[in-house]
Each structure stands twice: as C-alpha cells, then as structure tokens.
Chains A and B, each alone.
Chain A
Amino acid sequence: MGDLFSNLGLGFGVVFQLVQWSPAFLGGASIPIPVNILLCLIGALVGTLVGVLPGIGTIATVAMLLPITFGLPPVGALIMLAGIYYGAQYGGSTTSILVNIPGEAGSVVTALDGFQMAKQGRAGPALAIAAIGSFFAGCVATVLIAVLGAPLTKLALAFGPAEYFSLMVLGLIFAVVLAKGSVLKAIAMIVFGLLLSMVGSDIETGASRMAFNIPELADGLGFATVAMGLFGFAEIIRNLDAGGETDRKLVQEKVSGLMPTVRDLKDSTPAILRGTALGSILGILPGGGAVIASFAAYTLEKKISKNPSRFGRGAIEGVAAPESANNAAAQTSFIPLLTLGIPPNAVMALMVGAMTIHGIVPGPQVMQKQPELVWGMIASMWVGNLMLLIINLPLVGIWVRLLRVPYRLMFPAIVVFCCIGIYSVNNAPTDVMLAGGFGLLGYWLIKHDFEPAPLLLGMVLGPLMEENLRRALLISRGDWSVFLTRPLSAVLMVLAAALLVLAILPSLRKKRDEVFVESEN
C-alpha cells in the first residue's frame, strides 16, 4: 500500500510539475507553468473538437494528431496523447447523441437511446450523464490500474484465440438482444453485417475476397464508411422525406432542461456502477475486449430492467451504462501496454509509436525503468477525465443550441462534415462514394423497419470472430472441442448458450418478449 501511494505521488508529481517560464517581455521575471496539465487540457480539447466531426473516431483522431506531439518531451507527449484519446472518445459520443452518427463501434450503442433522448428534447441530460458516467468510470479504472495493473495482466495473457472466439459469440448474442424490433430482422441484419465484414483480404492466405479487384476494398470496408452511410446519410434522407418533418420539429422545439434531474441521476447511478465494472474487466483483454464493453453493458441494463420496453426509446440508463463501460474499457486497455509493453489495440499501437519516436521502447520492464512515465500517465488519466468534465459540462449548452439551427442549414453542413470525416480517415475518395451507397441502403432499411445497429455490430465482430476461430482451429489442428475444453472459453460458451435458450425456448416466451419487445409502429 505504501508503495502504491509513493507511486501515485510520483505520478501526480510529474503531472503537476511546474516549469519556470521567463519570456523576454517580463524582463527576467518568470512564471511557473503547469506544463503537463496544460498539455492534457489542450489534448482533451483538441481531441473533443476533432472527435466531434462525424466519422472520425478515436483511432483516426489519435493518428491525425499524433505528429503534433512529436516535438514535445516524452512524458508531456504521452500525457497529451492520452488527453486526445479521452477527448476523441467523448467527442464521438456527442455526435451519436445529437445527430445519430456514431464514429466507432462503442458509440453505436450510445446512439440507440441517446438520440431518442435528443428527439425528446433531452439532449442536455444525455450529454451530461455521458460526461458524468465517463468521469466516474475513469476514476475507478485509474485506481484499478494503479492497484491491480500487474496481476490483471495475467488475464490478458490467459485469453487465447479460443477464448476470444467464445467471447465474440457472446457478443453476437448481445447484438440480437439490443435490437428493439423483430428478432428475425435483427438476426438478418447481424448476418448481413458479418457478410460485409468478409470483404477484404483473407487473413490466412491473403487472397482477396469480394473486393472485385477494387484496390480500395483490399483492406475491407471501413467502419466509418458504413456507419456514416447507414446512420448519417440515411437519417438525412429520411428527415427530408415528407414523414420526417414532425420528428425534426420535435428535436428543435422540445428542449427541456440542460442538466439531468435528480430522478435521472437516481436512475443512472446503478447503471454507471455496473457499466464501470463490466467495462473495466473487458477492457483488459487485448484484441477486441473493449469493443464489446459498451454493448455488454447495454444488454445487461436491458435484461435486468423492470421495464425493458423503455430501452431504445430514450432510457437514460441506456446512455449511462455503455458510456461508463466504454470509458472504463478505454482506460483499462492501457494495462497490457503498461505492464507488458504490448499494444492491445490500434490506438495503443499508436501510443507505442509515439514512445518509439521519443526513443522509449516499451516492454515488460517499462514500469521499473521508466516509473515517472508510467505513473505520470496513470495520474494523467485521472486528470484527463477531470478535464473532460470541465470542458464538456459547459459545452452541453452550446451543443444543444446547435440542434436549433434550422434543418435546411444543418443538413448540408452535416453532409459536408461527414464527407470530410470519411475522406480524411484514409485519404480515399472511394470511401466517400461507398458511404453514399450505404446511405441509400440505409434509407431502404429504415423504410422496411430494419435496424442498422445490429448490422454494424455484426460487421465489427465479424473479423474478430473469424480470425480467432481460424487461429484456434489452426492451433488445435481442426479440433472443435477446444472451445469447450478450455475452461474460460467453456464458461463464455455456456453463458452464450444460456442467453440464446432464454431467447428461443417457447416455454420462456413471456421472458423473451421482455427482452425483444416488438416494435410499436
């Protein structure tokens, strides 16, 4: 325990470090400046502003802003990058809630209830609860990393391909549960999403699949491309439809309070706690754990809720839980990087890149060799989350005011920003054309009561499932029993089977209807 405090002390010492600044115009006098705090603040602010552009998720934001940190000292650069990461994450939630455009997989779930809340004039509370939930989750996860970082690493190493495959199967079942309409349609959408995820190179042979010799499809369809089309563009077409008129008026006129009410807080507190716990555990698993954190949290809330029919129609728990889970997972995904020196996901790989640029090559000894770096980063996580709260609570009012801009001015702006966002992810014009195509498809889907969310989740889980299935079978030499003989994998499979049985068995029909409430319209 003493160690922990001295370590955290070291970390906060680094973060709050003052640098004497003596500019010429002061004539020799100097002002102490908390440089690292400022870097964290700037990072979180810039990250939010870029992340709020539709289509630009955390990976794109961090990759885009990475070069601006190259000129800084290593600790400062990493603290700023961490700030950018949290900012981008939060910025993505903002677009999901306000305009129903998720920038990455995690925010797809936030959009489900967040956008409904916005439609009911409750965008303010939705944004505020997202910030509060994220801050709480961030605080808990920071402590978790400091106290249990090293032992938790074992969990990350115990997860082999078989375990990941079983986890992803569980994830697919979550994807069915979170649909609010017909189960059959939800399954159809998931399968379609899985099919879309097959486009690109085969992981084992490198052979091109369903790419039609178009070089831009060689690496598969981008998440942003499909999400922008299905959510962003399709929503715009629908709003310009005759029937969309009333919906739009609602968004603009019915803005009630900006901050959550006492009732809202009471409703969200348990959701935030559960979301934080789930997210913290899933975040540690490299290579895909964090992806399913937010919808695992959403599914849990929907399943234990006394009135599951509220979900998908603006339930505040449906925003609070996934947002907390997402942020907790974002935080704990640093654990494998800090203790093993192995980046668990694309954002962390960029972090490693930043360290390498500064001549630090992270490895299992980074904690002993660079304690000020590691503990400085851990302390900066907490500071970064505080910054988010400070930046974003006052911004809620501004965002909500944006909704009152007349739609004839708003929609061209959204289209332009979406196009900029999609283009800048890969600098590829083809992506913009593809998003247009998916926009038309999305409109057709909306008109026929298909929900795009399960499709996107299928698309995100598809490659993870396929790759891990094939790895597991390669290692087991084609023996399918590995999924049941490895204990962790078996537990996950049993959980998945139980959820499925709950949904299918006719004797449990009543229970099932609670889970998949039929759409009213």
Chain B
Amino acid sequence: MKRYGRSVAGGFLAALAVLGLPSSQAQAQAYPTRSITMIVPFAAGGPTDVISRIVTGHMAQTLGQTIIIENVVGAGGTTATTRASRAANDGYTLITGHMGTHAASVPLYPNLAYHPEKNFEPVALLAGTPILILARKDFPPKDLKEFVAYVKTNEAKVNAAHAGVGSVSNVSCELLNSILGIKPTGVPFNGTGPAMNALVGGQVDYMCDQIVNAVPQINGGTIKAYAIATPQRNPSLPNVPTTAEAGLPAFQAQAWNAIFAPKGTPPAVVARLNEAVVKALDDEGVRKRLLDLGSVIPAAAERTPAALGALVNKEIAKWTPVLKPVQN
C-alpha cells in the first residue's frame, strides 16, 4: 500500500478535533491528562490503520482521553516512524508500528534515521496478521508439496508478484524463496490491490500476502491458497492447511502490529498504556472485529512490553539475513 494514499491529511482534522475537546480535564491526576496522538504510518483504511482504530477506540474508554489517529504515509512507513522517534517522550505521541517499520526496515534501509530498539520503548503487541502462499487459480501445482517441486524445477519460468519493495508481501516472499533456495522473477506492483488484480487476471503465478486481502478472493474461487504460514489454521479459512501440515514447517511469517512510544517514556506511562491494550484485547467486541479480519490475537504472555521487545529483537535477527542480499 506504499503509494496508495500518499495524501492523507489527518493532521488537518486532528487539529480541529483537538480544538473541539473539553479542556476541563486538567486536574492533577496521573497520565493521561489530555488527548493522545497515535501516529499510523500508513493510509487510512489499510490493515494497520484498521487494527489501530479498533484497539485505540477501546483504549480511549479505559484511559478516559481521546486518542487521535494521525495517518502519516511515505517511504514504507519509515517517514512516520522517524517522526515518532523524535517526538516528546511524555506518552502523548505514540506510533502503531509493524513488522516493516520496526524490523524489516533495518536491513532494507541502510540510512534509516532511527533504530527500532534504540529509539523506541515497546508498549504492547496488538495483533498478528497471518501470511498465505497464494497462486493464480489455474497454476498447475495442486498442493504445497507440488508447488515446492514445481517452482524449484521451473525457477526460470515462474513469476512472483509483490506489492512493492519493502512491503509485507515482498519481504515474506523473499523469506519463502530463501527457504526454497530459489530466485524467481519478482514482479513489483504499487500496493496489494494491483498485485491481487494481476494474480486474479492470471498475469503472474504466485505471491505471498496478508490474510485480510486474500480471504474474499479465495472464497470466491478467483485464486487459490496453498498454505498459511502460522502454527495454527485460521478460523476464517478452515480448509487451508498450515505450512507445517503441508510439509514446509520452516516457512513461518506473520505481519504484526504493535504500539511503540519514543525512547525514555516513563515506565509508569508505558505500564498504563499496556494495561489499556490488554483490556481492549480482552473485550468481546474488539476480539470479534479483529478475528473477522483474520487477525491472531496475542496470548496473555505475549502482551507485555518485555515480550514485544523480545519479538522486535527476534524479528530483526530473522529478516536481516533474508533481506540484506535483496539490497544489491
């Protein structure tokens, strides 16, 4: 979704929203005493934005303050993340980061103006979005085993679509290709929409994509899915086997979204925010909406700031060797 919506003007509306707020809440009470800005590094309506809005909607009730979403787009989300890393560390500016901005960006952008670990305090993991291996509906292989054999023997012939350099579909497909030990021709598109269109139209052979975009097409029979790269099957696609079941256990990939605060944000503030996220993730309404999107809701042990810090560390280590060679 890189180029889509380079033109989001959340700030304009956000400013209006701030003016309209009651200013009476300035009592000497603990954090938060005023509205919080949540930077979303992608366009309004994209998966990261939708997940942010669902969770922050509930967090606002817990915290008793409005949370204003500001969509800042550009450079695969790194523009917004750079801005967030320089914001005041008082807990009033936060960012919803994802696998790209807080892990894959490290090997992808050598001149990155921030480091996910050195410039941010992890707050809480929000949700995971499983990755699927998809193909055009008349692609010869019938299951994942055949797929693996087919792409290995026809390496020079197959085309893999992706949504642009650095996109989730791009980096996850690079992971798949490195596991299979192949280098097929990658065909770049501007966003998952055009890439999906090419897959439905049969102009490209396969791609890896997030579950949100793929479910309706799979159910409609316009494309086919070989496997889902998570440990468990997903309730929205009960017939799609996991990569472990289908014979490729090494391929595990999930796009994840998580809240980060600028480095140095007081631990008490981080704890308060984390508590609000945990409460939101236990709410029935929030859970249902996230599950409808095909998201995986983190278990209790995965929701602490420390667990998120460990995840970021692990993800950077996972993506760096896969993506470094792509650079050249």
Contacts and interface: CB of A to CB of B under 8 A. Distances in A.
A157 B197 contact: yes
Interface stretch (A5-13, A266-274, A397-405, A423-431): A423-431
Among all A-B residue pairs, the 6 with the closest Cβ atoms: A353-B45, A363-B216, A206-B165, A364-B220, A157-B201, A424-B9
Given A201-B165, A426-B74, A342 B6 contact: no
Nearest to A354: B45
B196 interface: yes
Given A206-B108, A346-B5, A353-B49, 9 more contacts: A67-B69, A215-B82, A216-B79, A218-B75, A341-B217, A343-B193, A353-B45, A356-B293, A474-B159
Interface stretch (B10-18, B90-98, B252-260, B303-311): B10-18
* Interface residue range, chain B: 35 or more
Contacts of B49: 353
A66 B189 CA distance: 25
A219 interface: yes
A361 B50 contact: no
Nearest to B8: A63
Given A64-B8, A357-B45, A475-B187, A364 B222 contact: yes
B66 interface: no
Interface string B106-148: 0010010100000000000000000000000000000000000
Given A157-B200, A353-B49, A426-B74, A203 B188 contact: yes
A260 interface: no
Given A67-B13, A364-B216, A353 B69 contact: no
Given A344-B193, A475-B187, A477-B185, A63 B216 contact: no
Interface string A460-486: 000000010011001101000000000
Given A63-B7, A215-B82, A342-B200, A471 B220 contact: no
A158 B6 contact: no
B50 A342 contact: no
A241 interface: no
B298 interface: no
B45 A344 contact: no
B201 to A, nearest CB: 4
B4 interface: yes
Contacts, number: 183
Contacts of B244: none
Most A CB within 10 A of own CB, among B1, B4, B219: B4
A350 B44 contact: yes
Contacts of B75: 201, 215, 218-219
Contacts of A68: 13
Interface of B: 1-13, 43-47, 49-50, 53, 69-75, 79, 82, 108, 111, 113, 159, 164-166, 185-191, 193-194, 196-198, 200-204, 212, 215-217, 219-222, 289, 292-293
* Interface residue range, chain A: 35 or more
A161 interface: yes
A361 B215 contact: yes
A353 B187 contact: no
A286 B192 CA distance: 13
B308 to A, nearest CB: 25
Interface string A335-357: 01000111110101110111011
Contacts of B196: 342
Most A CB within 10 A of own CB, among B1, B220, B221: B220
Given A160-B198, A160-B203, A359-B292, A219 B190 contact: no
Contacts of B108: 206
B85 to A, nearest CB: 13
A198 to B, nearest CB: 15
Contact of A286 (B2, B10, B194, B289): B194
Contacts of B201: 156-160
A63 B197 contact: no
